[in-house]
Structure 1
Amino acid sequence: MKFLLTSSGIHNPSISAALVDLLGKPVAESTALFVPTGVLPFANGGEMAWKALNGPLCRLGWKSLGMLELTALPTIREENWLPAVRAADALLVWGGDVLYLTYWLRRSGLADLLPTLTDTVYVGVSAGSIAVTPYNCDAEFDKQFVPDGHDMAEGADRALGLVDFTLYPHLNHPDMEDTTLANIEQWAATVPVPTYAIDDDTALKVVDSTVEVISEGDWKLLNP
């Protein structure tokens, strides 16, 4: 699988060009499935999902666009959703709650399927990007949304580990106190893999484990 891991989506010409390069063809000739699952645990999750579906990432001019809701997949016959996933040129995985998203990526079966989709571009946004790394930098925040008595919080600090580095998005975002470089450096010192701190104008392009930083903003690589 090829990855375009973003902090806040396709925000500038450089990231847009990286997407086209990974697709190997224009967006207008490409098909995509949008995954809104990560926002569902929030009080206004339904509204946030609707806004995301009507937002810039879904309005890039795709040849076709469908929705893939992970929480529904365990109750749907595999032959009714798997062909669409295999046929899609891109999976657009929205942000939100990393813990909830990774839980449903695993439970839906999509996490096991992703490594087999060698020609598919995984486009992550915020939590959607963190989910494919080994560690969840939002674990403490995410725990507050776990229903009482649910086992979802077990291993909250671990994500899928489909890439060999982790990522901390929204570097120096004015509305997010925890995204200062000092705070990110403190967290990065607790994990045994490299951490990319990236702002909303930066993305990581990953092909065959090779990482290329695509940026018109600020970023920093923090080694363990």
Structure 2
Amino acid sequence: MKLLLTSGGITNDSIHAALEDLLGMPVGEADALVVPTAQWGHPMCGPASVRGLVAATPSFRHFTALPWASLGVLELTALPTVGKDRWVPWVEAADVLLVDGGDATYLAHWLRESGLAALLPELHGTVWVGMSAGSMALTPRIGQDFVEWAGAPDDRTLGVVDFSIFPHLGAFPGNSLEHAERWAADLDNPAYALDEQSALTVVDGVVDVVSEGEWHLLRS
């Protein structure tokens, strides 16, 4: 699987070009599934924000509101009840999975419980586009500061990649570079801090930074 791990979505021309390079086609020719699951685990999200995501309202202009050929919804909490014979073909038919933000530990839990995490290594041509927690869920740890789900046993996530991500650098008072450096000091793996104009691509284990803004490698 090819990964585009963003903080704020497809926010500039460089990230857009990286996405189309991973897809091997224009966005307008790609079939997408959006995964809203992480939102349910975060206290600042809920029905209104999920509606905006799946309805591709202007507030999601950098994500679901791009001109996809088609856009469907993949709710991970429903998958165990419908059976793999139904949902696996939906995933295999998609060119891109748009995995939204919220709580990364909640998302990681449902990626495992749904069976999607186990399927990811088989999706060789699919592009995972994460936004915020949708990117962080693939890392080994997110740091305790980012855990909002009361059911999380700790800050560990899936570990698909070997680095952690501090998103929204400079976007909020609690997301300064100083905060990011303190966050990284508690980790035992490489870590990146990304602003809304920055992203990471991962193809065959090779990591590249795509940025028109500010990013930092805090631990190498």
- Give the TM-score band, short-chain normalised: over 0.9
Unaligned runs of 5+ in 1: 147-151
1:153 shift after superposition: 2.0
Contact 2:137–2:157 (Cα < 8 Å) also in 1: yes
- Aligned: 1:122 with 2:121: no
1:221 is paired with a residue whose SS is strand
Structure 1 equivalent of residue 38 of structure 2: 38
Q: 2:196 aligns with which of 200, 211, 218?
A: 200
How far does the alpha carbon of each residue in 1:182-202 deviate from its partner, in whole angstroms, 9 at most, with x for none? 111111112121111000000
Structure 2 matches for 1:94-173, cutoff 5 A? 94-137=100-143, 139-143=144-148, 145-146=149-150, 152-154=151-153, 156-173=154-171
Change (3 A) 1:180 1:140: closer
1:99 shift after superposition: 1.5
Q: Please give the TM-score of this superposition, normalised by the length of structure 1.
A: 0.91
Q: Which amino acid aligns with 1:27?
A: V
C-alpha distance in 2 between matches for 1:157 and 1:196: 16
Computed over aligned residues only, the root mean square deviation of the Cα atoms, in angstroms, reads: 1.4
C-alpha distance in 1 between matches for 2:52 and 2:68: 17
C-alpha distance in 1 between matches for 2:64 and 2:219: 34
Structure 1 equivalent of residue 173 of structure 2: 177
Change (3 A) 1:60 1:191: same
Unaligned runs of 5+ in 2: none
1:46 shift after superposition: 1.1
Change (3 A) 1:187 1:141: closer
How far does the alpha carbon of each residue in 1:108-146 deviate from its partner, in whole angstroms, 9 at most, with x for none? 111111122111100000000000011113x34534x42
Contact 2:147–2:155 (Cα < 8 Å) also in 1: no
1:205 is paired with a residue whose SS is strand
2:51 is paired with a residue whose SS is helix
Change (3 A) 1:195 1:141: closer
> How many pairs align?
214
C-alpha distance in 2 between matches for 1:181 and 1:200: 14
Q: 2:205 aligns with which of 202, 205, 209?
A: 209
Change (3 A) 1:121 1:185: same
C-alpha distance in 1 between matches for 2:44 and 2:188: 34
Q: Percent of aligned positions with the same letter in both sequences?
A: 51
C-alpha distance in 2 between matches for 1:44 and 1:166: 23
Q: Which amino acid aligns with 2:81?
A: T
1:44 shift after superposition: 4.7
How far does the alpha carbon of each residue in 1:18-72 deviate from its partner, in whole angstroms, 9 at most, with x for none? 0000000111111110001111133651111111222221121111111000010
The range that moved more, 44-53 or 7-16, is 44-53
